[in-house]
Amino acid sequence: PFDWYADRRGASPLHWDPDRGCWDVFSYDEVKRMLGDDETFSVDPRNASGFQPAGDQAFLLETMLFQDPPKHDRTRDVVDEFFRPSAVKSLEPFIAEESRRLVEEALAEREDDVIDVVDALAYPLPVIVIAKLLGVPAEDRDQFKQWSDTIVEGTAGEEEADAADLQQRQMEAGMALANYFRELVADRQENPAEDLVTRIVQADADLNETEILGFCMLLLIAGNITTTNLLTNAVRIFGEEAYWPAAGQRDTAIEEVLRYRAPVQSMTRVAREDLTIDGKRVEAGDTLVCWLGAANRDPAQFADPDTFVPDRRPNQHLGFGYGTHYCLGAPLARLEASVALRELGAEYEVTPAWGDDLDPIDSSFLHGVRSLPVRLD
């Protein structure tokens, strides 16, 4: 997409697309302004003219991701503390151990020391971690992961001959997962534990059942495939650049991965009032697609934007968004990426085993590849 962004951005920060019926926004300044101004730009798609609810994801509309303040803040406050860097830090040994185990298991199945980073590590790790955080007992985690995998299958860009069949399976998995959460919630009401589900049920924010379930589902959906792509994109770039970060450089390099190949390329907002931007008339109810991936390569903000600079500082990228909806899970995603890469690099020398034909995920909104073979010596 990067050529398209550069091409468009050069002409104007925003363009109307008559086919999709929305504005595309490409410049760093405009994207940041829109994400930072909830008064003028709503996150709730129900404010868009001609809004049509997409049936299977309707519950997501009841979560913070699609709520404007003040309602948003009430929901987010319930879990904010749980996701602070100091709070997620305690997961570090668990993440390290799981990362090592996943890679060792994948290697044990191979004679040529080549594993697929996506299948072996980047895909399973985030689900395992969020399951642990929520309080899903270890013996249920495989089942939990299967439901979660089915739900994101479409977004992961799997080939699916029979779309109706996939939809059916996703509905069943969604229901199974919702039932599972219902039981977990009921259990934690009786037996509080040190986990996120307990935190959510004990919150004095008067969450109703739909909101509680939406919460659990949101954490699964928002945090999994995104973290998968961050890890995969990091290994891909390090391979392409023939570079592996030393301990002190790792976290800065991960920030540059988030800028250079942002796992989430776009976020959507709805104008609440008529405005004029760059001489163009935006009307109340118009949808604006804010291209984070384009903002992250805007030469007005970043010197040499199309070059991967692992020690780039400052690096105010928008890979986790900006403002009110700035990614709740950012500290967790950063920790997972950092620990998984640390463990991988500590044990092995990682070299690319992929060819010229990387298979991108079939999505304009998520950026990553479906598979990434590497050799581990």
* Comparison of 35 and 184: residue with beta carbon closer to ligand HEM: 35
Contact by Cβ (8 Å): 333, 230: yes
Q: Which two tokens stand for residue 132?
A: 């642990």
* Comparison of 180 and 353: residue with beta carbon closer to ligand HEM: 180
* Comparison of 70 and 279: residue with beta carbon closer to ligand HEM: 70
Q: How far is CA 44 from CA 41, 109, 139, 284, in A?
A: 9, 46, 38, 13
User: CA 274 to CA 238: how far, in whole Å?
Assistant: 45
Residue nearest to ligand HEM (CB): 329
* Comparison of 305 and 321: residue with beta carbon closer to ligand HEM: 321
The CB-of-244 to ligand HEM minimum distance in angstroms stands at 20
* Comparison of 115 and 328: residue with beta carbon closer to ligand HEM: 328
Q: How far is CA 377 from CA 68, 184, 224, in A?
A: 49, 42, 28
User: CA 43 to CA 36: how far, in whole Å?
Assistant: 11
Helix (H) or strand (E) holding 19: none
The CB-of-109 to ligand HEM minimum distance in angstroms stands at 27
The CB-of-134 to ligand HEM minimum distance in angstroms stands at 9
Contact by Cβ (8 Å): 1, 26: no
Instruction: Calculate ∠ Cα 251-257-262, nearest 5°.
Output: 130
SS3 for 289? strand
The CB-of-297 to ligand HEM minimum distance in angstroms stands at 16
CB half-sphere exposure, 348, CA atoms < 13 A: 20
* Comparison of 245 and 321: residue with beta carbon closer to ligand HEM: 321
* Comparison of 173 and 221: residue with beta carbon closer to ligand HEM: 221
The CB-of-181 to ligand HEM minimum distance in angstroms stands at 15
The CB-of-278 to ligand HEM minimum distance in angstroms stands at 22
* Comparison of 39 and 112: residue with beta carbon closer to ligand HEM: 39
Instruction: Note the residues at the interface with ligand HEM (CB under 6 A).
Output: 35, 43, 64-65, 76, 130, 218-219, 222-223, 226-227, 230, 263-264, 267, 319-321, 325, 327-329, 332-333
User: 339-358 burial string, b = 16+ CB within 10 Å, else e?
Assistant: bbbbbbbeebebeebbeeee
* Comparison of 1 and 351: residue with beta carbon closer to ligand HEM: 1
Single-letter amino acid code for the residue at 115: I
The CB-of-326 to ligand HEM minimum distance in angstroms stands at 7
User: CA 32 to CA 352: how far, in whole Å?
Assistant: 35
User: CA 214 to CA 328: how far, in whole Å?
Assistant: 15
Contact by Cβ (8 Å): 299, 26: no
According to DSSP, the residues that pair with 267 across neighbouring strands are: 290
The CB-of-165 to ligand HEM minimum distance in angstroms stands at 29
* Comparison of 106 and 262: residue with beta carbon closer to ligand HEM: 262
The CB-of-310 to ligand HEM minimum distance in angstroms stands at 17
Helix (H) or strand (E) holding 57: none
The CB-of-110 to ligand HEM minimum distance in angstroms stands at 27
Single-letter amino acid code for the residue at 252: T
DSSP E strand stretches across the chain:
14-17, 22-25, 41-42, 114-116, 266-271, 275-277, 280-282, 287-291, 350-352, 373-376
- Maximal C-alpha separation, the chain: 62
Phi, psi values for residue 14, rounded to 5°? -145, 145
